[in-house]
Amino acid sequence: MKSRPEASGGHGSHTVQRDNKPALTNRISRIEGQVRGVRKMIAEDRYCIDVITQISAIQSALDALALQLMESHLAGCVQHAVHEGSGEVAIAEVIGVMRKLAR
Amino acid sequence: MKSRPEASGGHGSHTVQRDNKPALTNRISRIEGQVRGVRKMIAEDRYCIDVITQISAIQSALDALALQLMESHLAGCVQHAVHEGSGEVAIAEVIGVMRKLAR
Amino acid sequence: MKSRPEASGGHGSHTVQRDNKPALTNRISRIEGQVRGVRKMIAEDRYCIDVITQISAIQSALDALALQLMESHLAGCVQHAVHEGSGEVAIAEVIGVMRKLAR
Amino acid sequence: MKSRPEASGGHGSHTVQRDNKPALTNRISRIEGQVRGVRKMIAEDRYCIDVITQISAIQSALDALALQLMESHLAGCVQHAVHEGSGEVAIAEVIGVMRKLAR
């Protein structure tokens, strides 16, 4: 696993993420329910177009979750890194993960 | 829920989907595991960038699942509809769901 | 360049595409204008966020263009191929290009 | 047009963007050429699948351009805003444009 930069240790992103934790947990629990719903649709031989429609709803929910995490990360860890003078590294990491989210 | 077109009743996409069912079930089960993994990462205050990286892996897996379903659907239901003379309706439906999958 | 399947020769997708040609030409011309606009914004050192916003508008316009081409292709070439018994090949090709459009 | 935040005035993102200008100009010029190529393909009734493949290549090139602009923006304007104490506003703006780039 990717090593955890100094800047994220015990403050910054972590404080922010902890504040958001109920919202994040709620989002991921709903996504889990949606994925179980798709598994059930496949098991029941439901109409393909309806299954794909559900999958696209899950994609949107995951995008929203990723954006919320990114916002926490920028407001917490990245701001902290900028103050500490290690902003460039934190920004390179953000761009790296944005590249994965793009097509 | 979207009404199920005549063309999908008991043959076409359904036969194909049934053939693929173990593969589809396998894919969605793995995705369920990945989503549970993300829930655990959030619960454990894991580093945001690592969580987002995992979310992007789930997005890719969902894309692959949607494409496999689409392939079954085109090979089954849509081909059948074309033979029956109702291809235009089936194609409009495919484009509608592709629009949801696009950004 | 990718070889052109038999099924697309002189009918099928081509007839359909020709019907749509003014609409397609119109769309791509507008996209060309948008891209020139972005070049001008870069030349004028415009605010990054505004440039990225324009880029996302171009992405949406390209998605719409790709979907319109796909619709023509399904209604023309793919339907024709299905009637001729070579539907599987045409569908594999459609899935291949959908995979490129997905992330 | 979106108002230009104080933080971007004459330094920050602008200095960085100016450093990158040849690279950015080069990228957008190549994209313009690709778009002209697609217009020519449409004019010549080229095979739909080949046109869509070219469109997906343009999408990738635009994503790369957007990421490069975002990197400049984070390294310049956003870092500057963080130092000035207006990081939250700059970050909200970044998330807003990321939402447009997501699906």
B75-86 per-position pLDDT tens digit: 999 999 999 999
In a domain? residue C76 = yes
User: What percent of chain A is predicted at pLDDT more than 90?
Assistant: 77
Q: What is the DSSP string of B20-53?
A: HHHHHHHHHHHHHHHHHHHHHHHHTT--HHHHHH
Residue B68 has pLDDT above 70, yes or no: yes
Residue D3 has pLDDT above 90, yes or no: no
A21: which chain B residues are within 8 Å (Cβ-Cβ)?
42, 45
User: What percent of chain A is predicted at pLDDT more than 70?
Assistant: 82
What pLDDT is stored for residue A58 in this prediction?
A: 97
What pLDDT is stored for residue A11 in this prediction?
A: 42
Range of the domain at C72: 21-101
Which amino acid is it at D91? I
User: How would residue D101 be classed by pLDDT, with cut points 50, 70 and 90?
Assistant: confident
Residue A98 has pLDDT above 90, yes or no: yes
User: How would residue A16 be classed by pLDDT, with cut points 50, 70 and 90?
Assistant: low
B25-38 average pLDDT score = 98
Closest-CA distance, B86 to chain D, in angstroms, reads 22
pTM: 0.86
Taking residue A20's Cβ as centre, other Cβ atoms within 10 Å add up to 18
In a domain? residue C25 = yes
A1-7 average pLDDT score = 42
In a domain? residue A15 = no
Report in angstroms the alpha-carbon separations of B22 from A1, A42, A95, C70: 31, 10, 37, 30
Number of domains into which chain D is organized = 1
Mean pLDDT in chain D? 86
B92: which chain C residues are within 8 Å (Cβ-Cβ)?
71
Closest-CA distance, C1 to chain D, in angstroms, reads 8
What pLDDT is stored for residue A17 in this prediction?
A: 59
What pLDDT is stored for residue A18 in this prediction?
A: 64
More confident: A94 or C9:
A94
Comparing CB atoms, the residue among B74, B83, B98 nearest residue C67 is B98
Inter-helix orientation angle C12-43/D12-43, to 10°: 160
Kindly report the CATH number assigned to the domain that includes residue A87: 1.20.58.1000
D70-77 average pLDDT score = 94
Mean pLDDT in chain C? 86
In a domain? residue C6 = no
- Give the chain B residue whose CA is nearest to the CA of A69: B48
Which amino acid is it at A82? V
D28-37 per-position pLDDT tens digit: 999 999 999 9
Residue pair C103/D56 in contact (Cβ under 8 Å)? The answer is no
Token pair for residue D98?
A: 């990321």
Taking the alpha carbons at both ends of chain C, their separation in whole angstroms is 23
Residue pair D95/A71 in contact (Cβ under 8 Å)? The answer is yes
Residue D9 has pLDDT above 50, yes or no: no
User: How would residue D2 be classed by pLDDT, with cut points 50, 70 and 90?
Assistant: very low
B63: which chain C residues are within 8 Å (Cβ-Cβ)?
102-103
d(CA D102, CA C73): 27
Q: Return the ∠ at Cα C33 (arms to C30 and C36), rounded to 5°.
A: 155
In a domain? residue A5 = no
User: How would residue D19 be classed by pLDDT, with cut points 50, 70 and 90?
Assistant: confident
In a domain? residue D3 = no
In a domain? residue D82 = yes
Residue pair B98/C65 in contact (Cβ under 8 Å)? The answer is no
A35-66 per-position pLDDT tens digit: 999 999 999 999 999 999 999 999 999 999 99
Residues of chain C with pLDDT under 70: 1-18, 103
**List of residues 6+ apart from A81 with CB closer than 8 A:** A5, A7, A12, A87, A89, A90
User: How would residue B16 be classed by pLDDT, with cut points 50, 70 and 90?
Assistant: low
What part of D 27-66 touches C (C-beta under 8 Å)? 28-29, 31-32, 35-36, 38-39, 42-43, 45, 47-53, 55-56, 58-59, 62-63, 65-66
A18-32 average pLDDT score = 92
D9-15 average pLDDT score = 45
Place of tokens 């979106």: D2
Residue B5 has pLDDT above 90, yes or no: no
In a domain? residue C87 = yes
Burial of C102 (0-12, 13-18, 19+ CB in 10 A): buried
D77-93 average pLDDT score = 95
What pLDDT is stored for residue C15 in this prediction?
A: 54
User: How would residue A101 be classed by pLDDT, with cut points 50, 70 and 90?
Assistant: confident
